[in-house]
Structure 1
Amino acid sequence: MEKARDVLVIGGNRYFGKRLIRRLLAAGDRVTVLNRGSAAPPAGALHLVADRDDENSLRKALGARVFDVVVDQVCYTPRQAALARRVFEGRTRRYVMTSTVEVYEYEDSPTPVAESAVDPRTVAVDPELPWHDQEFLSSHYGEGKRQAEAVFAAGSDFPYVAVRVAHVLGGDDDFTGRLAHYAERIRSGTPIAVPAANRPATYIHVEEIADFLAWAVGEDFTGPVNAASDGLLSTDELCEAVAAQIPGGSVALRAVEVGEVSPLSFTRSYGMDNSRATRLGFTFGDVRQWLPKAVAETLGD
């Protein structure tokens, strides 16, 4: 029987974060969840309350605790990464950061991109940017994640993993409203605005990313790793899957050259290549097989 691990999960006590915590508990791990106290973790997990942006608060909450693995679900900026690195260096043998497909936002590749397309060791870090400003942070999400990865990657003495997560779909607790956006327009017969050159993207089911993170906790690889289901989806396919859940629903797309477009429509091609994770031993599902289930879960139709 595998030895129980001491795992700290920072933030992320909703959506795929709560699913991860339940998987770790079911595996017999000793799980500690640290957040600002906004939500209690699932039964069986220890709860620590601290502000992860306040180093004194974080150190006080942690005390002398050490962990086998830390899973950081809410690291968005290089400042947060630098603080975490100071606090957890020597306190954990492995640090798993939830990153994003948006680190590839400047790519435009006709084939899925590998991790090497964005090497965090070469990313410039600017902690003086206004990362504390929510509007700035929202508009620089991919850049914040890139720079956070760069902080963890600096040197060779911090065993970090950056899980670059594809666009997540599924679950009745999907809070993004992206599929609901399509459903509302399909029900009303309103055209769905997409870029004139609309590119496909990679996705992952909410249960699959929870599986992936739980698997990554038990592995020993380091560095960036892409997490995406097999296959690419276009906005058309997403809309058709939504329309299939709506009686009489039909899709009307409207291509626009300028102006606001619908969520999950992209002017660039930067689907992710998941072959590194596959070689390491994780088996992904096929996006087209789980898509109808994901849409039904989220829309509740």
Structure 2
Amino acid sequence: MRSALVLGGTQFFGKRLVQLLLDAGVEVTIGTRGKTADPFGDRVQRLVLDREDAESMESAVEGKSWDVIYDQTCYSPQEALDACYLFSGNTKRYIFTSTMAVYDGGTAQKEEDFSPFSYAYSTGNRREYPGIAGYTEAKRSAEAVLFQKEPFPVVAVRFPLVIGPDDYTNRLRFHVEHVVREQPIGISHPDTRIGFISSEDASRFLFWLGTQSFVGPINAGYTGDISHRELLERIGHIVGKEPLIIEKAEPEHQSPYSFPWSWSLDTEKARSAGFTFGEFDQMLDSLIRTYAKDAV
């Protein structure tokens, strides 16, 4: 991998990915709307583009090619279709950031539990897919477009919930702050289980995929999962406070992890291919302590 285009790359684990690529001597181009500053200075090239505007995309990438394209900003099948047209013949490898949400609820979901190769996809834009159900359908259909059209070798990385000190969504921070401040947390199904990965491991995994040759869907994440109740009890143990779990709460106190079903992944395929994920317990406890200090 001598050159890479990162669609995204200015926030969260995308920013970490860009740094890893630069550290490895890869020539990096970032493609964004140009509205978020980044710390990379003249070490990267930049394209200003709008994923929802195919003409904007075509104007930005015309005449250019990259060994690997990392797509972190595709949120609709129409955007996937545009990518198939625009990047056909212009990349050797396309790594699409997907999600565990493509699976129906359940723990230890395997790659074959959702097949994009036979999925009857829709072709709407991202505004036609609101909410969790819409997000699920958009990512399923985007995967289906990429694998069924297959104008270039494609990998779809199915990530669980991503956490880290650079997580701008503050979803885990929400839980820590509520426990520290002894505020109630609304969770309708506290015993459903969820899987995680750190932003550090997510970026390492994406970088590693750029050096591999296999294609198809692949799960990423820590081994195992944790229930909402277990997560809050763990926070409570670390901060010395009892979590207050209620079934319904005002919107500002409703858990962003309050899914009605379990969602976690089997990552044997990635581990068998040679990737080693970090230790969940150590990372989670460290992050909880960091958030707890900030919440006081």
**Equivalent in the alignment of 1:36:** 33
Match of 1:12 among 9, 14, 20: 9
Matching residue of 1:198: 191
Residue 56 of structure 1 aligns to which amino acid in structure 2?
E
CA drift of 1:49 comes to: 1.0
Q: What is the CA-CA distance between 1:154 and the residue it aligns to?
A: 0.4
Q: Does 1:188 align with 2:181?
A: yes
User: Given the alignment, which residue of 123, 143, 151 partners 1:149?
Assistant: 143
1:213-232 matches, cutoff 5 A: 213-232=206-225
Map 1:207-218 to 2 at 5 A. 207-218=200-211
Q: Distance in 2 between matches of 1:121 and 1:221?
A: 16
Does 1:269 find its partner at 2:267?
Answer: no
CA distance in 1, matches of 2:44, 2:245: 46
Asked if the contact 1:230/1:285 (under 8 Å) is kept, the reply is no
Partner of 2:59: 60
The one-letter code sitting in structure 2 at the alignment partner of 1:249 is K
**Match 1:126 to one of 122, 125, 135:** 122
**SS state at 2:264 partner:** coil
Shift of 1:155: 4.3
Q: Is the 8 A contact 1:179 1:299 kept in 2?
A: no
CA distance in 1, matches of 2:33, 2:86: 17
Residue equivalent to 1:79:
78
* Aligned mates of 2:132, 2:154 — CA distance in 1: 24
- Post-superposition CA distance 1:122-164 (Å, at most 9, x none): 2221114x6335x726651111111000000104543111100
Conserved 8 A contact 1:107-1:270: yes
Evaluate the alpha carbon distance shift between residue 184 and residue 197 of structure 1 in structure 2; reply closer, same or farther with a 3 A threshold. closer
Which range is displaced more, 19-28 or 7-16? 7-16
Q: 1:299 to 1:224 in 2, by over 3 A?
A: farther
Cα pair distance change 1:139/1:62, threshold 3 Å: same
Give secondary structure in 1 for the equivalent of 2:187.
strand
Name the residue aligned to 1:253: 245
Q: Which runs of 5+ in 2 are unaligned?
A: none
Deviations 1:10-35 (A, max 9, x none): 11310100000000000000000011
Partners in 2 of 1:84 and 1:35 — Cα distance? Answer: 14
Residue matched to 1:98:
97
Q: 1:59: Cα distance to partner?
A: 2.1
For each residue in 1:44-100, what CA deviation from the matched residue of structure 2 results, as whole angstroms up to 9, or x when unmatched?
111111222222222222231111000001001000000011000110010001001
Residue 233 of structure 2 aligns with which residue?
240
Q: Does the CA-based 8 Å contact 2:195-2:221 persist in structure 1?
A: yes
- How far apart in 2 are the matches of 1:218 and 1:124? 31
Shift of 1:174: 1.6
Map 1:278-289 onto structure 2 (within 5 A).
278-289=271-282
User: 1:16 & 1:72 partners in 2: Cα distance?
Assistant: 13
SS at 1:121's partner residue? coil
Q: Which has the higher strand share?
A: 2
Any residues of structure 2 matched to 1:103-114 within 5 Å, and which? 103-104=102-103, 106-108=104-106, 111-114=107-110
Q: Please say if residues 190 and 258 of structure 2, whose CA atoms lie closer than 8 Å, have aligned partners that are also in contact.
A: no
Between the aligned partners of 2:207 and 2:237, the Cα distance in structure 1 is 32
Query: In 2 relative to 1, CA 119–35 (structure 1 residues): closer, same or farther, beyond 3 Å?
Result: same
The 3-state SS of whatever aligns with 2:246 is: strand
2:157–2:219 Cα contact (<8 Å) kept? yes
**Residue 136 (structure 2) pairs with residue 136 (structure 1):** no
TM-score by length of 1: 0.88
Q: How many pairs are equivalent?
A: 290
Q: Structure 2-normalised TM-score?
A: 0.89
Q: 1: distance between equivalents of 2:116 and 2:93?
A: 17
Residue type at the aligned position of 1:64: G
